[in-house]
Amino acid sequence: MGKNSFTLIETLISITFLIIVISGFKFSTYSDEQEEKNFMLLNDLENKFDTKDYSNFTKSSKTLQIIKNKISIENLEVFKYQFENEDIKIFKYEK
């Protein structure tokens, strides 16, 4: 006849293995709090770009020189809207 029940050592090994697996899932996070804050900030910045609300951005102007067909030269003034913090640096050029 075969053995039908677990011994004490097999039970302790099984419980230890289950505790390791369960604690591994508990402490492994797929996103941390900082990533969520950055995602929300990026979403807010994208909405501000879409609505052209540049209240949180630094504005600067720049003149670009464009040469067309190696003949004509065109000067184009553009504005640079920039947001920067310790994690994110984003900018947009707009005419």
pTM: 0.58
**Total structural domains within the chain:** 1
**DSSP-H helix ranges across the chain:** 8-27, 33-51
Report the alpha-carbon distance of residue 64 to residue 74 in Å, rounded.
8
Arithmetic mean of pLDDT, 59-63: 93
In a domain, 20, yes or no: no
Arithmetic mean of pLDDT, 53-80: 91
In a domain, 1, yes or no: no
Residue 72: band (very low, low, confident or very high) from pLDDT cuts 50, 70, 90: very high
pLDDT for 1-59, tens place per residue? Answer: 556 566 888 888 889 999 888 887 777 666 577 788 888 999 999 999 889 898 889 99
Contacts with 39 (C-beta within 8 Å, 6 or more apart), sequence order: none
pLDDT of residue 44: 92
In a domain, 41, yes or no: no
pLDDT of residue 4: 59
Range of the domain at 81: 55-95
In a domain, 90, yes or no: yes
In a domain, 46, yes or no: no
In a domain, 83, yes or no: yes
In a domain, 70, yes or no: yes
pLDDT of residue 60: 95
pLDDT of residue 83: 93
In a domain, 92, yes or no: yes
pLDDT of residue 70: 86
